[in-house]
Structure 1
């Protein structure tokens, strides 16, 4: 071998790494693109795998027919890489044009769901298949060209190329998700892959000039070659491809239950599988030319691969303990999340690598067998085609038959049995004579032991699989949990179970371990927090519109939202769309709590992607309610994107409303802003309501204003009991959930700036998994309801409940409810001179109250002015926002607790003036008193206390907003903002008030419509 040949060979190996890198970028990005179109990432993953394998099989087969007659296969390889690159450069534009055509023209004219599905899947195939065919041609062409440079080392060449292409693919899978998509989005990532293909083409072209001439004649068998029929070798290649991809599909679903259903987890699993294949090829490249009987080696490799797959069950059974340990010891930070991902990758390697390692040997070995038997260069493409065709069957078999009908464990077991049987057959027929009796018997014994041990000793406990260990760290649901339903569906594993907490029964329905809904078995039991969310999703539209003839619900969940809606006779047809059939089957177990969703003739349950169904049905809805699973779950983030919010108004009537659930737990402020920045530009008006501390409900109107809440639910007798049970029995109960108007939401998004979540720049999909891991919580919106100033009441022009009104249901989780009760306790104690009972008021506030009462009784307020001012402000924070003007009169305007004491100290007097003005909404007086406190001679006593400064500054900002004079707000900022502590001006309520005040109130003057008029 001369120096030039060696140099060219080394260059080709590096080039093929780059080709594999680009190829897996395509696979990852196509999965994301088609996931948007097909409605779920699981369907997209399966389809892309099938197309990827099928296209490569076809491409390899086409090359196998012509390979030996091609004069310069490396030149052809370069040309194909160039075409792949050009297609990559234009993919985003072609995708946008074709899917737009589908939604706007093809789906509406399809006429039936079957036709829509046919169009959707056909279009997906046409988008991806051409490049897949071209990609399939690259391996046999590169192999043929390389073999002409190194005809003496067929095994080393084939295995070496297999390794380099696979290791590049593993790197590409990780780079796409962790480096490229976060920085340049889907369009930039697929563009990068296209550019890389073009560079590969330019790099190969000079080397192609040194290719030896084609050898047309097929060489005869080499001395000592195994005698084997090509048909059996191709069948073996197909079977091993089938089992390998059953393994991959099953492992991914298995590990998703332990590691989480996130884009990061999926790419780590994919990289682990491909890395195993790559290193199997690497080992073979170093040993292939020393293997005397490749056929016998293939037989043993199949045995080892089947045994390794069965052993992976034992390894996987411990994965939940490992993940649980990680969740307990790793710090919940960004750095911790990086460590968790690395650890997840190691767990995926432990499960997948051994069997994948042996899988990486089979294709090169089978190719070498045919090459040594004189099949010529065409053997490369033929084996590659057979292997990938088997992979297609494996994907289809796993997704549509094995997982839904026999479950994860048995799917893996059946695939391993297939490998073991194939290995025994190969050893029986092709091992040398001295092993003829021993080898198959040894292999058969190993197979029987491994199959029996895995079947008898390994149990996939549903209580473990559904434990959501990647969130909670708990490795099981517990011995007291009763599993009511567990099935592995096409897109997810669904569990319904009953648990006991302090003697109370609770039901939950979970997707891949993540609880999507929790509820109590009976209306007589205490409600769970999820019930308030599902009830409010139904109650809000029923209180906003007189009649709902057509309602669309995206996401079945427990079925309770649909069930609650159907409790009203004012509702006509409801179309509830979910993509996973097992979700609908599982929720049936919840029986009477959701029976109307199944039994009411107005209810129509559709198993489909929501966008495709809405496009094809051509219905116009009065209300569309979207309550998908959490945004970090696979395929869900696209239901919170700009493109989705642009799509929805097309399917609403002119006065239709869109209702969106958005989690506030396991998410941070910037991610909530990414949803708001996606939604707000697409709707004329958006109003926000809080079902509880962790669930936000957005109501949007594409054309007009969101109408006022009205007392309409009282007409619906079947609903009253269910709604009252979760705290929404009256109109005022519903009004209490009001949080922000459009202007307030815009202000929130401005103080937590974020790029809008988009299908093509998937901020949520990429960043929400980390927020989930860190246990982030967006308290900021809830704190606005319990802030020291009536921010929400001002935005909605909604007065506080008067003293003589009924208190809200204690079962509610509204942030201001406890504050309201505590404020009444504090007022009674101060005004009536009674001791505080402390049922709701905090102990610290009770102590402050006693201190203030003592200072007033002894007329010592002037002797300790700073202390007096601080105590009064502290108590004002807990009372003024939660009491009406009349209740505040004898508390702060003419404070009866002062008795005969009339303070004269300027600081005490000015503080009382400020509190009197804020309690009566005299905005100009608030600003005047605030200026004096912050810049007068006694300002040091205020500024030294952060609580006092915080209250005074916020009161001035709210007053400026209420006056609707942004110039006043800007003047206040110029005068005071730099002098105030960062801990004061940096708190969310103050930042919100500042953003509102500087923008002016005129923009939100119609907010009162959303919460209902006085």
Structure 2
């Protein structure tokens, strides 16, 4: 084979290995999501999935090296390994489903004495599903090294280039999976795409192998005698392997902490995670490129290896004091981006820049270690496959241990900051091992020890993080200018921390300001409070009890502050409340709200389960049913929460409802778009098509539904509200804590089942469903979060703004033909004005219009209009009154403006609480028709608009 042909083959193989890296990352990312859905979405589950995958890679590295050294056709071996990977990737959706079904069949239940076997079972299933494919992937690098390296002296450079190319491909794969494949095609097709790539690579490698075999049969000039290559003594080779083992542990600890810190900095969206992964792997890739250049031509690889380890440790230690400033740095950078959908790529660029600041230098150094260590640890070219395979397998075993230690031990035990310091300490230990190796470089030992000692001192004395910054959640307030870090500190002078903890799942804190406003924050986001969130926290739990006359068992997904749990204790008929919460830190933090929640975790009726809700429901006894299920996860732009809004999860909840059971679901309308809300509700309607929608406060919705259909009884509801304990709880829904009667309670319903079915199930919505394997919301909701607007759908489809005869709201049936007394109208008006303008402002305006019609000069009415924000409309009304006092409009244009004004006034006052008034509009329309017959067609259009407004509230 000619040298030119050899170079051509090498380049083609390099490109193929980049594609292999991309397919590998798609495979890993999607498998983690699939198994998380099927056997649970906790950090422990993700750790066992990662352990199974990395363990398979380690086995593949180790045995692939042995196979590569034994074969005379390494390209054929490479082709077979890629083919195995491809077949298994294509079969992955089926394998994942089988693993999930097997888990449900044999997993111990939540109350089983064998529940301690749950985690080993997940590991076994993950290993059975992932291991074969991972072993095949792990074997490709040693096979390719054996196929492309010609002598020992080039080994470091060859491994560095291949590592660089493979990691660049992996970076593109992480990007493609997170931003293109999964959002566009879903999980299953993404895996099939990866499998097809693998099979194409197998065909390509087979063709190259046949071409090489044909070329090798031709006469070839005798090869030149290889130059004598550097061989490192056995102690140095052992030290190199020990170093990459320690480096592997440290790399995973640090990556886990970086992921969590960047989630606190940028929010934990799927795109933010993809950016972190791309940045990490990209740094590793360019570290491999540096190693390739440093180690070419049989240059010494030991000294660069020691320097790389020292730089990795040193850069991480020097960055330690600045990680708590990342939230403010990101806030200031991302705050310059316009909050528009088209600017989202620029926002992601700011996310990438922030990740680079945090990770670039350490990952470059870590990425350089493996190629350099491979060269040091390989004693001869005949053992190139074994040497490279051993180096990578030892490092991967370190990765597995690091993932387990970091995610399950260090972060929960020490917290993020000390866990990061522990990772830096392990990197220091790795560098120290090289500096002290017998037979090493004596001239390097003393300066290396001095430098490492200085870094150790810095590690110990480095300033601690500012908890106010790291827990601040500044990514949610990009429009606020906090100034410098000192200015930010000044703004938190009246805030004190009551609780702060990092567990395996989340970073949780409880803060309180000087006026007693207490917040529960999860990953920087306020998820509950003792004030503004209370109406929602109470109503989401109380509402279903008004549709079920004798609930005995209740299930709540998400503990939060505990207020949603505690409010149910007012119902003596409830015998058991099961609460599923994924984060143990949230359970501990909820104790700081006992004053407002009634300390529900101390009540014997409440049973707390710290686990993933999906696995809890799937492994609960087959006959376990609940009369009421309350699903109250966090916002859907967070990946973990998004999985609790899928069609499959809603169906799982429905399957666990007892006959006549009622489901209650919280939905946000802030930091979200109309499309996202409609996707969510369309998904919900696919399982619960006849839901009722309630509005506990301006930005929150509560959906209540039953698979068998709700059977509301307003007499029963009135009796419930008359019970003293329940009345006290329901008063918390009112803005001022006053008594909430049946009138006020029914007035909070904004859409009935007929309109809900028509909007979200009746064929009007063309938006996709959010599913387990097609997670639309997981990728669409973060865009809406970035824009930061509120969904306006229910503002324009509030059924309270329609006539009683044209809506199935409960209050319409309860009122019948009755007119509300003025005292009741005043009560509703005050309630709506106090609750804010998001949905209730137009309703308040309509009620005020009733009094305004009677007495336009009443100062109390004018003040109410001012509170409702309708002074502009008032000014327009006064202008028309003065104009019409002088006589009817004199020209057609003025007449049309008058009719338009009367139409808008009439439409704005249309509501379910008062009888409609069309007289002013009818009089204006009739007069204009008479004076200007040519306007008849225009006036017919207004009449059509009126008809549509009345039919389509």
Specify every segment of 5 or more residues in structure 2 that has no aligned partner in the other structure, as ranges: 218-225, 483-487
Partner of 1:576: 579
- Does the CA-based 8 Å contact 2:518-2:529 persist in structure 1? yes
Write the distance in 2 (CA, Å) between the matches of 1:110 and 1:80. 43
Q: 1:869 aligns with which of 870, 888, 899?
A: 899
Aligned to 1:421: 429
Partner of 2:448: 440
Go from structure 1 to structure 2 and tell me whether the alpha carbon gap of 1:434 and 1:367 turns closer, same or farther (over 3 Å shift): closer
Matched, 1:839 2:863: yes
Correspondences of 1:216-295 after superposition (within 5 Å): 222-223=229-230, 225-228=232-235, 230-290=237-297, 292-295=299-302
> 1: CA distance between counterparts of 2:441 and 2:857?
103
For the residue of structure 2 that corresponds to 1:632, the secondary structure is coil
The structural deviation recorded for 1:760 is 1.0
**Do the aligned partners of 2:554 and 2:627 also contact (CA within 8 Å) in 1?**
yes
Q: Which of 482, 491, 496 is equivalent to 2:496?
A: 482
For the 8 Å contact 2:801–2:843, the answer to whether it is kept is no
Distance apart, 1:652 and its partner CA: 0.7
Structure 1 match to 2:420: 412
Is 1:612 aligned to residue 615 of structure 2?
A: yes
Match of 1:733 among 732, 744, 747: 744
Q: What's the counterpart of residue 1010 of structure 1?
A: none
3-state SS, counterpart of residue 378 of structure 2? helix
Spell out the pairing of 1:391-790 with structure 2 (5 A cutoff): 391-430=399-438, 435=443, 438-452=446-460, 455-457=461-463, 459-473=464-478, 478-500=492-514, 504-520=515-531, 528=532, 530-618=533-621, 619-683=624-688, 685-709=690-714, 710-727=717-734, 729-749=740-760, 753-785=766-798, 789-790=802-803
Give 1:884's match in structure 2, choosing from 899, 914, 919: 914
Moved more, 220-229 or 246-255: 220-229
Cα distance in 2 between the residues matched to 1:176 and 1:484 = 40
The correspondence for 1:360, drawn from 367, 371, 388, is 367
Change (3 A) 1:819 1:385: closer
Per the TM alignment, residue 791 of structure 1 is displaced from its structure 2 partner at its CA by 7.7
Decide whether aligned partners of structure 1 residues 880 and 267 sit closer, same or farther in structure 2, where only a CA change above 3 A counts: closer
CA contact (8 A) 1:89 1:194 kept: yes
- Worse-matched range after superposition: 260-269 or 586-595: 586-595
Is the CA contact (8 Å cut-off) linking 1:673 and 1:756 kept in structure 2?
no
TM-superposed CA distance for 1:858, in Å, is 6.1
Q: Deviations over 1:307-346 (max 9, x none)?
A: 1112332453442232111332100112321111112112
Residue aligning to 1:970: none
Instruction: Please list the CA deviations of residues 763-786 of structure 1 after superposition, one character each: whole Å capped at 9, or x if unmatched.
Output: 100110010000131122134338
| Corresponding residue for residue 1001 of structure 1 | none
1:938 has 2:944 as partner: no
- Structure 1 residues 155 and 857: alpha-carbon distance in aligned structure 2, compared to 1, 3 A threshold: closer
Cα distance, 1:538 vs structure 2: 1.6
What secondary structure, in the 3-state scheme, does the structure 2 residue paired with 1:548 have? coil
CA distance in 2, matches of 1:699, 1:726: 17
Could you tell me which residue of structure 2 aligns to residue 956 of structure 1?
947
- What is the CA RMSD across the aligned residues, in angstroms? 3.1
How many residues align structurally?
A: 903
* TM-score calculated relative to the size of structure 2: 0.88
DSSP 3-state at the match of 2:493: coil
Q: Does residue 909 of the first structure (1) align with residue 909 of the second (2)? A: no
Q: Once the 2 structures are TM-superposed, how far is the Cα of residue 396 of structure 1 from its aligned partner?
A: 0.8
Normalising by structure 1, report the TM-score.
0.83
C-alpha change, 1:557 and 1:757, in structure 2 (3 Å) is same
TM alignment of 1:754-833, pairs within 5 A = 754-785=767-798, 789-790=802-803, 794-796=807-809, 797-798=812-813, 799=815, 801-805=820-824, 807-808=827-828, 810=831, 811-813=834-836, 817-819=840-842, 821-832=844-855
**Separation (CA, whole Å) in 1 of partners of 2:47 and 2:757:** 39
1:422 CA displacement: 2.5
Whether the 8 Å contact between 1:823 and 1:882 is mirrored in structure 2 is no
Counterparts of 2:394 and 2:557, CA distance in 1:
41
Does structure 2 retain, via aligned residues, the 8 Å contact 1:41–1:634?
Answer: no
Task: Indicate whether 1:313 and 2:287 are aligned.
Answer: no
CA change 1:12–1:791 in 2 (3 A) is farther
Task: After superposing the two structures, state which structure 1 stretch, 847-856 or 312-321, moved more.
Answer: 847-856
CA gap 1:115/1:617 in 2 versus in 1, 3 angstroms:
farther
Report matched runs for 1:337-352 at 5 Å: 337-352=344-359
CA distance in 1, matches of 2:339, 2:839: 29
| Cα displacement string for residues 670-690 of structure 1 (whole angstroms, at most 9, x for unaligned residues) | 222222222222235222111
Contact 1:640 1:757 in 2 (8 A): yes
SS in 2 for 1:175: helix
Aligned-pair distance for 1:495?
1.1
Pair 576,221 (structure 1): closer, same or farther in 2 beyond 3 Å: farther
The superposition leaves residues 896-923 of structure 1 with CA deviations (integer Å, 9 ceiling, x where unpaired) of xxxxxxx9x9744369xxxxxxxxxxxx
- In the aligned structure 1, how far is the partner of 2:932 from the partner of 2:704? 43
Asked if 1:180 is matched to 2:181, the reply is yes
CA distance in 2, matches of 1:135, 1:497: 47
In 1: Cα distance, 2:62 partner to 2:796 partner: 64
